[in-house]
Structure 1
Amino acid sequence: MSEIDRNQGLARQIAKNIQDSIMQGRLSAAQRLPSEVELAERFSVSQPTVREAMKILAAKKLIQSKRGPKGGVFVSPPSLDIAAQTLHETTNWLVSLGAVGLADIVGARRSLGRLSIAAACEHAEREDHKRIEAALLELDHTEISDEDFCRLEVEFHQAVAAACPNSLLRLVMVMVNEALIPAANMISFPFRQRDKVVAMQRQVFSAILVRDAAEAISAFDTLIDYQSGIYDIALEQRTLGSRLR
């Protein structure tokens, strides 16, 4: 084994040791880690090896550096945004490789979307309603690009999910909305009618406004059924096109 390989292996071991300490609560959120010199002495390695271990932990968003007199390396505080971004990247990767199919996307969106919408009907306040309506108003413009329409569609569903008081469900909905919707839209957007999509979303919002969960879920199911049918058309066209080549 070369010296470089050995040092990389040691760096991974140190990173794993510190990660375990964070996950098991021996290191708490916002706690300052020992200096590079102290860690090098503790693990009997060089400072560059410790530096590599810190890079591994930083890439996993487990630690963060701060400058100044009170600076150093600290355990990252828990963040739903960071966790959501990690889930988003992983899900995009799975979709891109074909490990997650359209049927999986439709099923997940339907089941989790119902929970999110029911929660919005029960808990949404005036500010939540404003965010949802703002996303709808932005969507309802014929001159916006397909890319912007897809982005704003995600914002609409995110605004609905944001009204849910359950932080874990909000986190899951970030993954569902920001990863699965764009992945499916890449396939279906040439075939769907924007005005129909917006009209169905307005029905969802109208039901949320009056806290009618049954009507909101029914409208959402209609939207998912429509989009599922568009996915089928898109896949048929893709298959037909490949046969004609």
Structure 2
Amino acid sequence: MSPTEYAAPGPGTPRARPARKTAHVLAAGLRRQILNGALEVGHRLPPETELSVTLDVSRETLREALRILESQSLVEMRRGRGGGAVVRRPDPVAAGRYVALLLQVRGTTAADLRTTRDALEPAAAQRFAETCGEEGLNYLTTLHEAERAATGDPLAFATASAVFDQAVVELSGNRCLGVLTGVLREIYKGQVYAALESAGPAALVPATRRILAAHNDFLDAARRRDGARARRAYDGHLARVHRLVAAGRRDRRAVDITPWWRAQAVRAVDDRSQRAATTVATEIRSRIADGRLGAGSRLPRVADLTAEFGVSRPTLREGLRILETEQLLDLRAGERDGATIRHPTALVAAQLTGTVLESRHVTLADFSRALRMIEPVMMRAAAGPEPAALAVLRELECELAQHISETESFVRTWRRAVFVILTGLRNPALAVVAEMLQWVRTGTEDAVASGAASLPWSTTTNRKAHAMFTELIGALAEHDGPKAEAVWSECLDTYSPFIESSDLGRRLVVDLVE
């Protein structure tokens, strides 16, 4: 792509706007070109001087836009001769590291993670068994052999076991679900590693053999195309993993991801300087996770940090830049004090995950099918909301009644009501997943509302949905989780066919998100 093909801010964008706001507009335009493939992975953007002239922005504005894209894992800033901004594919591992930190800061427990895995993975495992081909089975068999070969190494086994589990979800055919489980996989791996490492040599082999046996049972059921049996086997696998990570009454303690990060940092890279930078980033990230560095805290000055870690200034700067791209530090050139700590937020976690969803060409129909698998379980967990939230839901119920014949308003009120319910989830991991889903819902709301309004039977469907929503509120108020799950499942079954069978459902999320 030639420099003249890069999209500048739209006509009429005034140069006098504050640089940061213009930078966001510019970043959004480049972001869309990256996600829809107009700018391919590995493509090197022109030098700053040339690109700032082409886009008619200052170099300061351009640099801010590129930093935004770097924080979203959409470009990589390479140093030295031949460096510059290079387009990259958003990585669920980077998003997963951020989500893992967020979950630890929020006090997530092993029990919370078990509930979340139960909501996301068993249905996908069943679908894989019912629809898989020989190629998928052979691939899983290869992964199973890889984890068998890693039984004596806690780090290698935790990684190999997680790769197997993630492959099951991805091979089930739902890209949206694959991304959601992918960003949570980091914290799952961390808990398995910590449990195996603390078990000691005598208990290590029996513990890994139990996980291998569960995976073997699942593979056997999948080879027979027995979905129900495969689901039971996968449920058994999750139960064994939970018993491992919850041993010694750890199921109600807050998880600790830092041993996993530190073990990874030791083995991560061969380059000595890069390994040192990764170690610096890992240690500071770990201090955020365990509460020693709070939001707004200042790091020591560069000279003090280089002395503490025993590294050069360039190595330290590289370590700090890793954290800056993870949106955990604010680095300000010229400031005499140290960098400022930024605590992880659910909004940033949702944005990072949403970017991965867009880059993986997830369709709206795929997203809808994922909702049908996930959200009913969330509604079960949301039973018994706070009185204030229940009062808001009753007000929204009245609003829905008023908008039955005004579909666009009905859809928007509906989204607000779902958001109120799911923000009340007491399980931090489920709550973060809900934020991820809400990010897509909000971004695609206009397209869905407009599409639904054009249907001749929309008023009838809205009336039925309102009745089910009234029933849902009753179940939530009565702390009846199973009923709330059943009602919401029926409700999604009412709406979903419209999306999944329409032209709208075949459109990519990246083309719909505003």
Please classify the TM superposition score into its range, dividing by the shorter chain length: 0.7 to 0.9
CA 1:73–1:225 in 2, change beyond 3 Å: closer, same or farther?
A: closer
Instruction: Name 2:26's counterpart in structure 1.
Output: 18
What RMSD over aligned residues (CA atoms) do the two structures have, in Å?
3.4
Question: 1:236: Cα distance to partner?
Answer: 4.9
Give 2:66's match in structure 1, choosing from 49, 54, 64.
54
Counterpart secondary structure, 1:100: coil
SS state at 2:172 partner: coil
Cα drift, residue 225 of structure 1: 1.7
Of 219, 223, 243, 2:233 maps to 219
Matches within 5 A, 1:136-151: 136-141=144-149, 144-151=152-159
* Alpha-carbon offset, residue 63 of structure 1: 5.0
Length-normalised TM-score, structure 2: 0.37
Q: Does 1:127 align with 2:139?
A: no
Counterpart in the other structure of 1:243: none
- Counterparts of 1:1-245 in structure 2 under 5 Å? 10-21=18-29, 29-30=37-38, 35-39=51-55, 41=56, 43=57, 46-62=58-74, 82=90, 84-141=92-149, 144-176=152-184, 178-189=185-196, 190-191=198-199, 193-236=207-250
Amino acid at match of 1:182: K
Is the Cα–Cα contact under 8 Å of residues 166 and 182 in structure 2 kept in the other structure?
yes
Q: 1:160 to 1:16 in 2, by over 3 A?
A: same
What are the Cα deviations for residues 149-207 of structure 1, in whole angstroms up to 9, with x where unaligned? 1111012112212312221122122123x323212214422346111111111001111
Separation in 1 of the partners of 2:218 and 2:225? 10
1:14 deviates by: 2.6
Deviation at 1:145, TM superposition (A): 0.8
Cα offset, 1:222, TM superposition: 1.5
Q: 1:57 to 1:140 in 2, by over 3 A?
A: closer
Separation in 1, partners of 2:239, 2:93: 28
* Higher RCO structure, 1 or 2 (CA under 8 Å, sep 6+): 1
Structure 1: tracts of 5 or more residues without a match: 1-8, 66-71, 240-245
Aligned partner letter, 2:123: L
The structure-2 alpha-carbon separation of the partners of 1:94 and 1:235, relative to structure 1 and needing over 3 Å to count, comes to: farther
Q: Is contact 1:188–1:231 with CA below 8 Å preserved after alignment?
A: yes
Does the aligned pair in 1 maintain the 2:143–2:160 contact within 8 Å?
A: yes
* TM-score with structure 1 setting the length: 0.72
Supply the distance in 1 between the matched residues of 2:181 and 2:251 (Cα, whole angstroms). 30
Q: Percent identity?
A: 18
Instruction: Report the CA distance between 1:38 and its aligned residue.
Output: 3.5
Query: What are the superposed Cα offsets for residues 212-232 of structure 1, whole Å, 9 maximum, x if unpaired?
Result: 111111111122222222333
Matched position secondary structure for 1:144: coil
The 3 A distance-change label for structure 1 pair 202 and 16 is same
CA contact (8 A) 2:70 2:76 kept: yes
3-state secondary structure, aligned to 1:161: helix
CA offset at residue 101 of structure 1?
A: 2.3
